[in-house]
Amino acid sequence: MLRTTLSARALKLSRVSNYTKCAPRRGYATPSTYTNIRTHYNTTLAGLSPSENEFREAVWEFAGRVVEPSRAKVEKEIEAGGRGFEEFMGIHRELAEMGLHGITVPTEANTESLGLSLPYLHHLLTMEALSYVSGGIALSYAAHSNLCINQISRWATPEQKARFLPGLMRGDLLGSLAMSEPGAGSDVLGMKTEAKYIPEKGGYVINGNKFWITNGPRADVVVVYAKDSPSQSKTKSTYTTFIIPRETPGFSTGQPLDKFGMKSSPTCELIFEDVFVPEELVLGGKGMVGKGAKVLMSGLDLERLVLCGGPLGIMQAAYDTTLEYVHTREQFGVRIGTFGSMQAKLANMYTAVNSARTFAYSVARAGMLGTYTYPPLQRRDCAAAILYVTDKASKCHWSVCRVWVGMGEYINEYPAARYLADARLYAVGAGTQEVRRWLVGREINADFE
């Protein structure tokens, strides 16, 4: 595996020396060699350092060369029920060869030094690049690298890290996270999945169901939140986080869900029927029993930040393809891009994608500062960032569909409808837009208490 230093932090990516280096034109990134459209990503407004932009270009090139050609194959594979997930896992292993699964994981000997020790900004940049070519594959990547790997990296014992992280970062294993339930979505702490401690067995018996679980149909390792039975507190419910391998007896999965969007990301229900989990698979060890709510909430903050890259990448792709479309399609003998109504839509899209990107990048960059602590700044700002980015993306994609009209809204052969369907996930994933507004407002009001 080729490992090349891209920054002072010794970023190690395979094959990065092959990325396309093109001279900028009018402050915009030049066309990708591996896609049919010119990307109008505004490098001037993005405000990235040379090493950060080099990282972004490397992942962008990889996404166009490796991920985009496989998107339709992965969608068909998942639609057919998986059939071994060969195409899906092929992309997963390619991402591992690039070193992208362990972006935020410290470079440590007990995890085979596969971590890159990079900031969350780089994780966001990776999500944006992957989402540009496939919202679904990017979403599965986030579930694996952020929701699963990052939580294990942040909270696990040295023994747990050594056992699980190398396989996850090499791409031998696929990770997932199980939090939501049929009756516990926005009210996630209303979960019914219970973990009962059995002293004579030295472990826990878990019963319950988890729903809407990304990567669930194929996941080898799942980070699972469960309510303690009995509670570790006399006054309130407590929760514990577990690492559960797929082969654990009593653990099973439902059929892959047929979703509105994100067709290249497998999703299903997880079922736990008297699943015995030994004490050594409590995430973080015995000292973390009853502290799952802390693990869960802090993970949601970082998940929201990294997931900002999803709607950003999809929005950039929608803007790029629409810009090409309005300057090739003609009506009444002229290009439709010359119509005032179309120019207004393009202006709104341009403003939306660049303002949203600036906000998201600034929050990610603030998280790199030593004075940026949690709580409360990170929580409100991560929630506000994905709230704003998702709002802008939703409005942008409706405009895109109105530009493409019949071909955009009703013909799946064209990408506009896919952009809209994929982007809608971010209005409900990692908390709904309503919950994000409530969270930001609550944190602001807390300053006056």
Which residues carry out catalysis?
A: 303
Cα distances (Å, whole numbers) of residue 347 to 123, 239, 323, 340, 401: 29, 48, 11, 10, 15
Helix, strand, or coil (residue 204):
strand
**Nearest alpha-carbon partner for 145 in 126, 129, 163:** 126
Q: How many helices (H) and strands (E) does the chain have?
A: 15, 11
Q: What are phi and psi of 7, to 5 degrees?
A: -155, 175
**Nearest alpha-carbon partner for 52 in 106, 115, 126, 113:** 126
Residue 330 parent element (H or E): strand 330-331
Task: State the Cα angle at 130 between 125 and 135, rounded to 5°.
Answer: 120
Q: Are 408 and 364 in contact (CB under 8 A)?
A: no
Residue 93 parent element (H or E): helix 86-97
Tokens of 228: 């303690």
Tokens of 141: 């990547």
CA 15, CA 125: separation in Å to the nearest integer? 18
CA 424, CA 315: separation in Å to the nearest integer? 11
Tokens of 198: 């059995």
Q: Are 165 and 152 in contact (CB under 8 A)?
A: yes
**Nearest alpha-carbon partner for 269 in 194, 204, 205, 183:** 183
Q: Are 299 and 288 in contact (CB under 8 A)?
A: no
The conformation of residue 211, written as its DSSP 8-state character, comes to E
DSSP-assigned letters across all residues of 374-427: TTTHHHHHHHHHHHHHHHHHHHHHHHHHHHHTHHHHT-TTSSHHHHHHHHHGGG
Cα distances (Å, whole numbers) of residue 140 to 1, 33, 49, 137: 23, 25, 28, 5
